[in-house]
Amino acid sequence: MRAVMDISADFTVGELSGRWRSPAAAEVFPGIFGVDDFWLHSPFWAIHFNAYKDPGCDGRLFELIIMGMFELLGPSGNTPEARDADFSRVKVCLRLFDTGLVAGAGEVKAGDGHWRLGEWQDVSRGGCSILDLPGVDECPIEYDLLGLARSGAADGDGDRLYFGQRHHDELGSIWTRRAPGLLDYHVVRVVGEPPRAGHGAEWGPAEWTHVTSTYTLTPDDRRHS
């Protein structure tokens, strides 16, 4: 569990610059474990996320990237240790590693409607409803929170960054209202070698460039526009 007193809303956008990665897989939804890998360099942001059936990251479910722009706002009025932050979403790509998910994504016609295990697709328009993953047409911006816990190291090694809760309830979701509080789990500032949890520690500029330039919607795919 996080220690609230260690987290501060007193930080600048410059202190966020860099890569932030999960030190271990966290249970992001009941029975689903995830590894977050955030890349922040104002005004740009991106996430590379891997999901698993188990905390040991042996049973892969899916992998996704989302990217866009972000703006750091003022202190939260509801969560004293956090600041409000808005994250726009301009591109979403997804690949699936579970046969049940592949069948489900095909049934709901996510992407181009033709899914194969381990192959990327652009789902920027329409998202993938079986994963509760919206496209940018439904969710162009996320109303989030950020809280920073400093380690005290001069290079920021050991700093922890907390994002907002992303659950849905009767009040809506993170793309219809501000996140209601911070998550209990965090990502750590990458200084030197990144944490090796799950897949994607080797992810870098070449991987970002390949996925974002290769997997794009074609005119025939734009059924959701």
Q: What pLDDT, on a 0 to 100 scale, did the predictor assign at position 22?
A: 98
Q: Would you state the pLDDT for residue 219? A: 56
What do you get for the CA distance between the two ends of the chain, in Å?
A: 42
pLDDT in tens, the chain (225 residues): 444 448 999 999 999 999 999 999 999 999 999 999 999 999 999 999 999 999 999 999 999 999 999 999 999 999 999 999 999 999 999 999 999 999 999 999 999 999 999 999 999 999 999 999 999 999 999 999 999 999 999 999 999 999 999 877 888 888 899 999 999 999 999 999 999 999 999 999 999 999 999 988 765 554 443
* Backbone torsions φ then ψ of 73, nearest 5 degrees: -105, -160
Rounded-to-integer distance, Cα 103 and Cα 171, Å: 31
Q: Residue 37 and residue 166: Cα distance in Å, rounded? A: 16
pLDDT at 216: 87
Contact 223, 217 (CB under 8 A): no
Tally the C-alpha atoms within 13 A of residue 199's C-alpha that lie toward its C-beta. 16
Cβ count near 200 (within 10 Å): 20
